[in-house]
Chains A and B, each alone.
Chain A
Amino acid sequence: MQELRKERLDRGVKVRCDSIYAVSSLKEVMFLVGPGLALVLILLVLPLVVSPYWQRVLSITGIYVLLSIGFGFLANYVGLVCLGGALFVGVGGYLSGIMNSVGVPMILSIPIAAFAGAVICTVLLLPCLPLRGVYFAIVSFVYPLLAARLIAATGIFGGTDGIAGLDVLTNRWFNIYLIFFVLLVAIFFMSRLVNYEDLGLVFRGVKDNEQAIIASGINITWYKAQAVFIAAFLGCFGGAYLTHLYGWVGMSLFAIDFSILPVAATVVGGSGILYGPLLGTFLLVPLSEMMRDYGTLRIVFYAVILVFFVVFWTEGIMEYLRRKYEQFEHWVRV
């Protein structure tokens, strides 16, 4: 009689340490790339099966995902808690809107806004990069509030009315696949960066032990600025995209939702891994859309979930799932 026993699927795959793999069969290859493929597949199929209204919701979810990835990257891999999501969206959105209103076509204004906006945001945050976690969080949180109040108080950029009549991205299929494409590129680029690139290791070093990095003759402010630039680039692109989704730019681009939701998504999704914020956003944004009828009660609901996760389930959903995934067992002959 043949004897069988259970063995973890990843046992043969992981050799020596986390970053070196040895795969010997198609099954093991699938085990490694499966989750990534599943993600691509879901993102490809999802827009096909939902109504136009939900397609719009998914597009906006995409923007939040970009912000969440940026937040998760800065918080978990660089050690900067940046609550400036609204700043990124606002700066990117306004830049693109202003350029478009003076005649620059969308195809130019969006990428320029993403890049120039990221530069502006990085420069704004540059002086406070040496600050410790909480204080950096406060400053980055206050910037968008300040920007919104200043626009209201001085009436620049259309004041409280904003700038209307901008070009609109009309093709809904193009819209949704554009943001999903950017999102996928962003997430694969980022996970490559933090897991396999030497630069990613420097970022993690900045988070874990700043002094050792300084003692290695590395200017940490410069690397923090690079990291902020990456996150800001994603956020500013999201803002520019949002502007042309509505054809309008206004103070609501600086709304604190853009700062808060990435935090919530990262907390709920799980902070140890880049895909956590992604999952968190895809859970939270549609959920809040479904609860639209309940008014502000949904924010209460949110807040309660947030507190629950941060206090009682710090691991987050994604980390939990990953653990379970890595514990998959299969039967092997003894």
Chain B
Amino acid sequence: MNDNIILQVKNLSKAFGGVTAVNDVSFDLARGEIMGVIGPNGSGKTTLSNLITGFIKKDAGSVVFNGKDISRWPAYKIADAGLARTFQVMRPYATLAAYKNLVPPLFSPRARRTARGKLGDRSAVAIDILEEVGFERDARVPYKLAGTLPLGYLKRLELCRCLALRPELIICDEVFSGLSMSEIASMVPLMERLRRDGITLIMVEHRLRELFRIADKVLVLNFGEKIAEGLSQDIFKVEKVKQAYFGGEDCYVSSE
């Protein structure tokens, strides 16, 4: 197997009752890449990330991460191995200060291991991490109660929860959705910096334009099936993708 492949998903399937949420999805992901996962609502994007990270039991298929088969691992062990994820619905510890939200992840075995005993005071480390991702603009923000933070900061906080683990791969579940244009504009460079730091990203997104700017390749899901995989700029040339997104009509993808 190629050393450069960090994640290998094979024939992943999951059905809820009679509804097939994810059907026979396979893909490989190289280290350092950013892969976008797109698809209409209900196409199984979130289920796919839940399956990979072990939050839902798989019906069939396998997931190999860093050469290890993690198909049957419990969710916490997968995270411990370095495959972190954000949640679409963020539920921070509302009554705690923002930086205190990062103490539990810093308490985890992985964070302790990766810090090699040089962790120090968790609160201080937490504030460092927060400032790295854009909390530095207002020094008071890390001390505010997490429940009072605006959405943009919450998304960053969620990302920080992953970064605290020093993961190798992060699955970002809709980090752009619900943000204003300017907020997204400030998130994009952050994503690019994560890539420079050597973190592989899977981005489950609805915001195609921003996604296409940073993603190396895109996976398109529809009704739980993979209908296309390819480079960002080519993906809308695939007939099936056009149909899924725009209906059967002929259409033009704006190339702005």
Q: Are A215 and B75 in contact (CB under 8 A)?
A: yes
A44 at the interface (CB under 8 A from B): no
Q: Which one, B80, B97, B100, contacts A217 given CB within 8 A? A: B80
Query: With the chains together, A198 CA to B105 CA distance in Å?
Result: 10
* Chain B, interface residues (CB within 8 Å), range: 35 or more
Given A16-B143, A198-B103: A215 and B87 within 8 A (CB)? yes
Which residues of B have CB within 8 Å of A205?
93, 104
How many residues on chain A are close to B (CB under 8 Å)? 23
Please, which residue of chain B has its CB at the minimum distance from the CB of A16?
B143
The binding surface of chain A is classed by DSSP as helix
Q: Are A213 and B104 in contact (CB under 8 A)?
A: yes
A327 at the interface (CB under 8 A from B): no
Query: With the chains together, A199 CA to B94 CA distance in Å?
Result: 18
Which residues of B have CB within 8 Å of A211?
55, 87, 91
A17 at the interface (CB under 8 A from B): yes
Q: Are B76 and A17 in contact (CB under 8 A)?
A: no
Query: With the chains together, A208 CA to B144 CA distance in Å?
Result: 18
A216 at the interface (CB under 8 A from B): yes
Which residues of A have CB within 8 Å of B140?
16
Q: Are A218 and B91 in contact (CB under 8 A)?
A: no
Q: Are A218 and B161 in contact (CB under 8 A)?
A: no
A212 at the interface (CB under 8 A from B): yes
B98 nearest CB across to chain A (Å): 9
Please, which residue of chain A has its CB at the minimum distance from the CB of B83?
A217
A171 at the interface (CB under 8 A from B): no
Q: Are B93 and A209 in contact (CB under 8 A)?
A: yes
Q: Which one, A16, A202, A214, contacts B107 given CB within 8 A? A: A202
B79 at the interface (CB under 8 A from A): yes
Which residues of A have CB within 8 Å of B100?
19, 201
Interface string of A186-213 (1 = CB under 8 A from B): 0000000000001101101100110111
Q: Are B93 and A216 in contact (CB under 8 A)?
A: no
Interface string of A13-34 (1 = CB under 8 A from B): 0001111100000000000000
Which residues of A have CB within 8 Å of B104?
198, 201-202, 205, 212-213, 216, 218
Q: Are B79 and A217 in contact (CB under 8 A)?
A: yes
B57 nearest CB across to chain A (Å): 13
Q: Which one, A202, A204, A212, contacts B91 given CB within 8 A? A: A212
Q: Are A198 and B122 in contact (CB under 8 A)?
A: yes
Query: With the chains together, A214 CA to B80 CA distance in Å?
Result: 9
Q: Are A216 and B75 in contact (CB under 8 A)?
A: no
A151 at the interface (CB under 8 A from B): no
Given A204-B93, A209-B91, A211-B87: A219 and B161 within 8 A (CB)? no
B94 nearest CB across to chain A (Å): 8
Query: With the chains together, A215 CA to B80 CA distance in Å?
Result: 8
Which residues of B have CB within 8 Å of A219?
74, 76-77
Query: With the chains together, A201 CA to B100 CA distance in Å?
Result: 8
- Residues from 72 to 118 in B contacting A, C-beta threshold 8 Å: 74-77, 79-81, 84-85, 87, 91-94, 96-97, 100, 103-111
Query: With the chains together, A64 CA to B61 CA distance in Å?
Result: 52
Q: Which one, B79, B81, B92, B145, contacts A216 given CB within 8 A? A: B79
Q: Told that A204-B93, A211-B55, A215-B161 touch, could you supply 7 new A-B pairs with CB distance under 8 A?
A: A198-B103, A198-B104, A205-B93, A209-B91, A217-B108, A217-B165, A219-B76
* 22 chain-A/chain-B pairs, Cβ below 8 angstroms: A17-B144, A17-B145, A198-B106, A198-B107, A201-B96, A201-B104, A202-B107, A208-B91, A208-B94, A214-B76, A215-B53, A215-B79, A215-B84, A216-B165, A217-B76, A217-B80, A217-B105, A217-B110, A218-B104, A218-B108, A218-B109, A219-B77
Binding site for B on A (CB under 8 A): 16-20, 198-199, 201-202, 204-205, 208-209, 211-220
Q: Which 6 residue pairs spanning A and B have beta carbons closest together?
A: A217-B80, A217-B79, A216-B105, A205-B104, A17-B97, A16-B143
